[in-house]
Amino acid sequence: MSNQSILNVQIHPAPPDTVAGKERREFLHRLSDHIDKNPFSDTTSAARFDAFEVLQYNWLNRGRGNRGTPFDATILVPKNLRAAPSYPVHVRFHGGDFCTGDPQYKPWFPPHAADLSLLCDAITIMPEYRKMPESGAEAIFDDVECFWGHFKQRAWELDDFLRWEGHNISLYRDRVLVSGDGAGAMLAIRSWLWHQKASNIKALFLQSPLFEAPASDICQYLKNDLEEDQIIKAGEAAIQSMEEMKRIASEQSKDFGLHIRPSLTPPEGLLMASYLRITGKWKKLFLERPCEAITEYGHPDIMDRLQKKEGKLSDADPFIAIIHGGKDTFAPPGHVNRFVDIVQGKTNGEREDKIVRKPFPNGGHGFDHDMSLEDLQLPDTTLNKIKKAWLGKSSSNEAAIIDGVAKLEVDSHLFESKGRDENVNLNTD
């Protein structure tokens, strides 16, 4: 197995015997322990969760029209946590066009998401939510609202669950980073704009964010993404699927109800996502009951909600970092540009104090699924701002982890006994 390293570690003399030097060596010893025990930042999907203990937490949606329905949230606990009074929280919403996706679908859990959680000793929580076409915006947003309500108001249940699973740990509920890709990024933004009092989000890290109905440039889609035989096969499969759906519907009674699907493992649901996107029916189904959605949640359009947000953004609003592909025909760069402009227009002081973005000119949708934190090559200033916003007054070790993630200089004596060369790979084969 060929893996990429999160850090290119170079050998340099040990720092002076100062307080800073001792703190640095303490961090380096911890890093060495990670090297031996954790294959973190493995860019192959099979090992994405290997550095974590994976827990399945069940919670109930007590929202309108779905009271008592169980949902799962996947919790990732780093295997080598440092002792601490409490731990920061990383909430991640998976993507999938609202038609497919599962929190435990490893190919869509990018290495950089694991890097952030592992290097910052964060507990990752990845909730389920209902899927289209059976459910629309009203149901999906209700799931998100109920998750944050549970996170805040029934915190003791989650803490008891972690203790029951053998982890005597508590969560810093005022140190929350939320990330997501595509549709998951939309839910991350909504968590801020609609549910900030419950979520208390300090930072958003968004990948290829979806702000409205997904775009579909048919010419680009057909020329670059699919071969002709793939299109023909997809069309034949679509016809068969529609015939099967008609048959099932004709055999059901008038009381037949749609099954709630909070989790779908790709490729299940991908074909439906393509149908809705290409035919232009995605938005119609997403806003199937727009009056109720607007009454309960405010206008479902993120740009509109943000523009109507009163006053300037404050310290209570999160720092936002965005990465996106310049060739993304699903979530076009123009949408990102508009969102950034609106946020910057509501920012006091320097525009980049509240939001930064890094475009990848040749990247398409989901370009980052196999990229580590180092692969992203985020500027040090961006990483510093994420750390400061998320972790608050963090320890010097936490600062060293984030500030030095791309430029770490490692003490030579630390690796001499291990017989390592000058380029240390932090992954295991």
Give the pLDDT confidence of 285-318 residue by residue, as tens digits: 777 655 444 544 455 678 888 888 888 898 889 9
Sign of CA dihedral 109, 372, 406, 208: negative
Give the pLDDT confidence of 83-99 residue by residue, as tens digits: 888 999 999 999 999 99
CA distances 211 to 54, 206, 301, 305, Å, are: 31, 11, 8, 11
For residue 285, count other CB atoms closer than 10 A to its CB.
18
Q: Where are the domains of the chain?
A: 45-216+282-407
Number of H helices, E strands in the chain: 16, 10
**Residue where the block lists tokens 């029916």:** 281
Split at pLDDT 50, 70, 90, the class of 424 is very low
Give the pLDDT confidence of 213-243 residue by residue, as tens digits: 776 554 444 445 556 666 667 667 766 776 6
pLDDT at residue 220, rounded to an integer: 46
Q: Dihedrals φ, ψ of 31, to 5°?
A: -60, -40
* Residue 321 and residue 386 in contact, taking contact as beta carbons nearer than 8 Å: yes
pLDDT at residue 255, rounded to an integer: 52
- Domain 45-216+282-407 CATH superfamily: Alpha/Beta hydrolase fold, catalytic domain (3.40.50.1820)
**Residue where the block lists tokens 């890093």:** 31
Split at pLDDT 50, 70, 90, the class of 199 is confident
Helix H or strand E encompassing 319:
strand 319-325
Highest mean pLDDT among 38-47, 160-169, 292-301, 361-370: 361-370
Helix H or strand E encompassing 33:
helix 19-37
Q: Does residue 363 surpass a pLDDT of 70?
A: yes
Is cis: bond before 110, omega within 30 of 0?
no
SS3 44: coil
Highest mean pLDDT among 68-72, 135-139, 169-173: 169-173
pLDDT at residue 49, rounded to an integer: 94
| 225 DSSP assignment | I
Q: Does residue 395 surpass a pLDDT of 90?
A: no
Report pTM.
0.75
Transcribe 388-426 into DSSP letters: HHHHSS--HHHHHHHHTTTT-EEETHHHHTTT--SSB--
Please report how the helices 290-297 and 137-153 are oriented relative to each other, as an axis angle in degrees rounded to 10: 30
Give the pLDDT confidence of 22-76 residue by residue, as tens digits: 544 444 444 444 434 443 344 467 889 999 999 999 887 766 555 567 889 999 9
